[in-house]
Chain A
Amino acid sequence: SQQGEEDPQALSIQEGENATMNCSYKTSINNLQWYRQNSGRGLVHLILIRSNEREKHSGRLRVTLDTSKKSSSLLITASRAADTASYFCATDASGNKLVFGAGTILRVKS
């Protein structure tokens, strides 16, 4: 079963625009992680936010966490063609095992 669900399923934007992806989850968590997957490759860890944190930044990435709404968002600012990938949220509920959502497919057009 999936703990996290991303929204939208797919997103297409122009280079230079911002991209926002959302993740909702069902049960309490200790942390939430975001990963990127380029076509035909393995997942790459982007950022981890703990349950007592509300916002975290890493370069052009900004992640927010709202534990009252059980949701998180990933914002990519000034997107580039190289940001084209699938983005997954993962939560550590379910016996502390890491559970992944189905992902958001981001396409950045140049």
Chain B
Amino acid sequence: NAGVTQTPKFQVLKTGQSMTLQCAQDMNHNSMYWYRQDPGMGLRLIYYSASEGTTDKGEVPNGYNVSRLNKREFSLRLESAAPSQTSVYFCASSEGNRWEKLFFGSGTQLSVL
């Protein structure tokens, strides 16, 4: 099984450009998450989706939008990238709607110049 797959792995954007980070899981999990990881700050929750058709804001949602396209896919969109969004982005999923035993993708390293 592939688990959680994120694309792309690396991306460089100019300030103001837009892009969508893709995430798909093949474990039939209900819940999916987007986190960002910055040096010395651990992971911070951007958005999450407890089930298909629902999304909710996390700790740092400003500047991002998400779409739960179906049960498998959860995308993160940056409409107008800013240097402060330079980070490593992780998608994760978990069974049911409990915040337990999250499975993570390998991450997208994003640089905004």
Listed in ascending order, the chain A residues whose CB lies under 8 Å from chain B are: 1-2, 31, 33, 35, 40-45, 48, 88, 92, 96-103
Contacts and interface: CB of A to CB of B under 8 A. Distances in A.
A41 B23 CA distance: 15
B104 A42 contact: yes
Nearest to A44: B104
Nearest to B4: A42
B78 interface: no
Nearest to A3: B42
B106 interface: yes
Interface residues of B, number: 23
Given A41-B106, A42-B4, A100 B42 contact: yes
Interface string B28-46: 0000010100001111110
B5 to A, nearest CB: 11
B103 interface: yes
A43 B45 contact: no
Interface of B: 4, 33, 35, 40-45, 48, 58-59, 90, 92, 99-107
B58 A97 contact: yes
Contacts of A96: 99
Q: Is the interface of A mostly helix, strand, loop or mixed?
A: loop
Contacts of A48: 100-101
15 contacts: A1-B59, A2-B41, A2-B42, A41-B106, A41-B107, A43-B102, A45-B101, A48-B100, A96-B99, A97-B99, A98-B99, A99-B59, A100-B42, A101-B42, A103-B42
A94 B42 CA distance: 16
Given A2-B42, A48-B100, 19 more contacts: A1-B59, A31-B100, A35-B102, A41-B106, A41-B107, A42-B92, A42-B105, A43-B90, A43-B92, A43-B104, A48-B101, A97-B48, A97-B59, A97-B99, A99-B59, A100-B35, A100-B43, A100-B44, A102-B42
